[in-house]
Chains A and B, each alone.
Chain A
Amino acid sequence: MELCRMEKVSKIYAMGEEVRPLNNISLNIEVGDFLSVQGPSGMGKSTLLYVMSGLLKPSEGDVFIKDINIRNIPDDEITDLRKKNIGFIFQETNLFQALTVEENLRFVLAVGQGKNIDQSKIDYYIQELGLAQRRNFLPNQLSVGQRRRLVAARALINDAPLILADEPTNDLDDGWAGRVMELLTDKVQEGGAVVMVTHNSYWAEKAGKHYTMQEGSLVLC
Chain B
Amino acid sequence: MWFLAWKNVSRRIGQTTLTVLITALTVLTFVLSFSVLSTLQEGLRLANARLGADVIVLPGKSNADVFQTIFTAEPVNIYMDKSVTETLSAVVGVEFITPQFFTQSLDESCCSIGGATRLVGYDEETDFILKPWLNEQNIKGLRDDEVIIGGGIPAMLGNRAVILGGIFTVVGSLYPTGSGMDETIFMNIDVARKLAQESPYLQSIWKKQTPEELISALLIKVDNGFSPEEVARNINELDLTVVAVSTSEIVSSMKSQMDVISRLILGLWSGVFVVACLALIGRFTALARERKKEIGLLRAVGVQRSAVFKLIVLEAWIMAGSGGILGSLLGVLGVKAILDILTSSMVLPMGEWSGLAALVSVLLGIAVALLLGLLASVYPAWKSARMDPQEAIVRGELD
Contacts and interface: CB of A to CB of B under 8 A. Distances in A.
A82 B300 contact: yes
11 contacts: A50-B394, A76-B304, A80-B302, A80-B304, A82-B302, A84-B302, A88-B300, A88-B301, A96-B297, A108-B301, A138-B11
Contact of B299 (A79, A103, A112): A79
A103 B7 contact: yes
Interface secondary structure of A, over-half rule: helix
Contacts of A83: 301-302
A55 B390 contact: yes
Question: What size tier do the contact residues of chain A reach?
Answer: 20 to 34
Contact of B300 (A55, A97, A110, A112): A55
Interface string A146-176: 0000000010000000000000000000000
Contact of A111 (B291, B301, B390, B393): B301
Contact of A94 (B4, B11, B388, B393): B393
A111 B8 contact: no
A123 interface: no
Nearest to B389: A55
Nearest to B11: A98
Contacts of B11: 98, 138
Contact of A50 (B7, B305, B390): B390
B293 interface: yes
B302 A55 contact: no
A108 to B, nearest CB: 5
B396 to A, nearest CB: 8
Q: Is the interface of B mostly helix, strand, loop or mixed?
A: helix
Interface string A90-105: 1010111111000100
Interface of A: 46, 50, 53, 55-56, 75-76, 79-80, 82-84, 88, 90, 92, 94-99, 103, 107-108, 110-112, 138, 154
B12 A111 contact: no
Contact of B302 (A46, A98, A103, A111): A111
A221 to B, nearest CB: 27
Nearest to A96: B294
B301 A56 contact: no
**Nearest 9 CB-CB pairs, A to B?**
A83-B302, A98-B11, A56-B390, A98-B7, A55-B390, A98-B8, A94-B297, A50-B390, A55-B389
A143 to B, nearest CB: 19
Contacts of B306: 76
A156 to B, nearest CB: 12
Nearest to B306: A76
A96 B306 CA distance: 19
B294 A97 contact: yes
A138 B13 CA distance: 14
Given A56-B390, A82-B300, A94-B297, A107 B3 contact: yes
Given A80-B304, A98-B4, 19 more contacts: A50-B394, A55-B300, A56-B388, A79-B303, A82-B302, A83-B301, A88-B301, A90-B300, A92-B293, A92-B393, A94-B293, A96-B294, A97-B294, A98-B10, A103-B3, A107-B3, A110-B3, A111-B303, A138-B11
